[in-house]
C-alpha cells in the first residue's frame, strides 16, 4: 500500500498543529513536518513592511519540505505536513510530492481572534495578520 502524504493548513489560530499532531499519532510509522520549523530555519526570509512582518522564502520552504517528505516516503513512512504556507510554497511542494490528502481548517475570524488573544505575546499576530491570512 502507498504511504500517505497529508497536508493540514489554514489561517493562524485554526488548530493546524493540534490536528496534525493528533492525526500523525494515529498513523503507523508517521512523521509530522511543521512548516514553521522549516520557515524559521531561514532567518533571512523575514522582513518588515508597513509595520507587518512578511516572509520571502516560501518557495524554498516548499522545496525543503518536499525533499524531506520524499526521503521519509522512500523509507516507508507516512507524512503529515502541518502549517500555513503561501501559495508559492505549496506549488513548490506539489511539484515534488504526490499529496494524497489535503485538509483546510477555516474557523471564523472571531474564533481565530480569540485564539490569537490567548497566545504568548511573542506569537501574537494581531488583526491585520489574521485578516490577511484568512
Read out DSSP for 45-57? GEEEETTEEEES-
124 belongs to a structural domain: no
User: Structure pTM?
Assistant: 0.85
Backbone φ and ψ for 35, nearest 5 degrees, come out as -55, -45
- Sites in the chain below the pLDDT cut of 70: 1, 121-125, 128-134
> Is residue 126 situated within a structural domain?
no
Burial level of 75, CB count in 10 A (0-12/13-18/19+)? exposed
**What's the pLDDT tens digit per position in 89-100?**
999 999 999 999
Range of the domain at 40: 5-107
Q: Within a domain: residue 14? A: yes
Domain with residue 68: its CATH number is 3.40.50.300
Please check whether residue 112 lies inside any domain of the structure: no
Output the pLDDT for position 50.
87
Task: Give me the pLDDT at residue 1, please.
Answer: 63
In a domain, 23, yes or no: yes
| DSSP H helices in the chain | 16-26, 35-39, 58-74, 87-96, 109-117, 127-133
pLDDT at 113: 79
The pLDDT of residue 109 is: 80
Residue 46 falls within a domain, yes or no? yes
Confirm whether 91 is domain-assigned: yes
Note the pLDDT of residue 130. Answer: 66
- Number of domains forming the structure of the chain: 1
Residue 122 lies in a domain: no
Q: What is the pLDDT of residue 131?
A: 67
**pLDDT at residue 75, as a whole number:** 97
The pLDDT of residue 9 is 96
Amino acid at each position: 500500500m502507498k504511504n500517505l502524504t497529508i497536508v493540514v493548513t489554514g489561517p493562524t489560530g485554526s488548530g493546524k498543529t493540534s490536528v496534525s499532531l493528533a492525526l500523525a499519532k494515529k498513523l503507523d510509522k508517521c512523521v509530522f513536518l511543521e512548516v514553521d520549523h522549516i520557515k524559521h530555519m531561514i532567518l533571512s526570509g523575514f522582513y518588515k513592511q508597513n509595520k507587518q512582518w512578511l516572509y520571502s522564502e516560501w518557495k524554498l520552504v516548499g522545496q525543503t519540505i518536499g525533499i524531506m517528505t520524499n526521503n521519509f516516503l522512500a523509507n516507508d513512512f507516512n507524512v503529515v505536513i502541518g502549517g500555513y504556507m503561501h501559495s508559492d510554497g505549496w506549488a513548490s511542494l506539489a511539484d515534488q510530492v504526490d499529496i494524497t490528502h489535503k485538509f483546510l481548517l477555516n474557523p471564523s475570524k472571531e474564533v481565530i481572534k480569540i485564539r490569537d488573544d490567548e497566545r504568548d505575546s511573542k506569537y501574537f499576530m494581531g488583526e491585520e495578520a489574521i485578516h490577511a491570512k484568512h
